[in-house]
Amino acid sequence: MRFGPSDSLPTPPHFDLKNFAVGAVVSSLLVGLLGDGTIILFQAITPAEAGVNLGGAMLASLESLLAVAVGAAFTARRARRRASRPMPEGISAGLVGFMVAVLGVGSRFLVVGDVPLWEVLDLLPLLLPGVGAAVAGAALGGLGGSNDRPD
């Protein structure tokens, strides 16, 4: 590609903060609904003398990862349409949404459920698979077409 003296260099796409914020809200709502809602549901239907429902906890973990991937894909797809940066926006929005939902529900368990702090911090190892889910979701959401807008 050659540029002449009157041609301007193409500008790199920018990081769209508005798209990031919308994606983080969508991700946190999805994680809250799918992951945290499942934990709360299984906690409500499991009798106290039965102990912890491990099947419900595993299902909530998988649903949280799915919610992170869907939130990241939503943000990346929106970023591609807006000619910004799909991968960084999708990954960061998915992870921020995940952390907001975990901290929100974790604080609920601390205040209302009388759960010790280290029990809530045990959710942080989910962050590594969450990164993988966010990368996969952003890659899938950013697929297809180009960032070029027709003039």
At residue 120, the pLDDT reads 66
Number of domains in the chain: 1
Tell me what the mean pLDDT of segment 89-101 comes to: 91
Residue 2 lies in a domain: no
Residue 38 lies in a domain: yes
DSSP string, 58-91: HHHHHHHHHHHHHHHHHHHHHHHHTTS-HHHHHH
Confidence (pTM): 0.78
Range of the domain at 130: 17-141
61/59 Cα distance (integer angstroms): 5
Segment 5-42, tens digit of pLDDT:
665 656 667 888 898 999 999 999 998 888 878 877 88
Residue 108 lies in a domain: yes
Residue 147 lies in a domain: no
Q: Which residues contact 136 (CB under 8 A, 6 or more apart)?
A: 69, 72
Residue 11 lies in a domain: no
89/13 Cα distance (integer angstroms): 11
Residue 6 lies in a domain: no
Segment 107-147, tens digit of pLDDT:
776 777 666 666 666 767 777 898 999 999 999 998 875 55
More confident residue, 148 or 46: 46
Tracing tokens 């809250």 back to the chain, one arrives at: 32
Residue 39 lies in a domain: yes
Residue 10 lies in a domain: no
Q: At what angle do helices 54-81 and 17-30 cross, to 10 degrees?
A: 160
